[in-house]
Amino acid sequence: MRIAFLVAPEGVEQVELTEPWKAAADAGHEPVLVSTEQGEIQAFNHLDKADTFPVDEVVGDASADSFDGLVLPGGVANPDFLRLDEKAVAFVKSFFEQGRPVAAICHAPWTLVEADVVRDRTLTSWPSLRTDLRNAGATWVDEQVQVCEGGPNTLVTSRKPDDLKAFCETFLDVFAKTRG
């Protein structure tokens, strides 16, 4: 299974990229780093620079058709940057239009809000996104992991790095069940 990990050139919370990436790779899947620019992305440990990672595909050249699912890692700056990039937003929206599963953690649902794909869905996130998600028509819950099967696809969301174990197990299970 080929899984897109969409991140901005900088600002992704490193552990929210590396743990799901490792979980996908360990399960025998092919994780692919997609970003808005070529080269490398700069990850962060909260506000401190962490490691860099090479970009595999640029979002403007990528298509949801070539992936079985999408993972959106968090970090405050990462989704804020992505939601201002029309190609990134269109890429995210295309997974919903094609009925492909999506997983988002922490602040990543900001990008989902911009793609207008949260209305009538139940999500969790970092608590500061609660009002944004409700204003976009979603139901927000404070749970470790939330699976929303309503709508055209299955959406898995989690709140924070402490939820990563449950997030990884759940999105891998959901992606495997919805693979088509």
Phi, psi (deg, nearest 5) at residue 71: -115, 130
State the residue for tokens 């490398």: 40
Of 42, 61, 60, nearest to 51 by C-alpha is 42
Beta bridge mates, 145? 158
Active site residues: 106-107
- Residue 29 sits at φ, ψ, to 5 deg, of -95, 170
Q: Enumerate the β-bridge partners of residue 147.
A: 156
Residues 6 or more apart whose Cβ sits within 8 Å of residue 95: 64, 67, 69, 70, 101, 102, 153
β strands within the chain, DSSP E: 2-7, 10-13, 30-35, 40-45, 48-54, 57-58, 69-72, 102-105, 122-123, 139-140, 145-148, 155-158
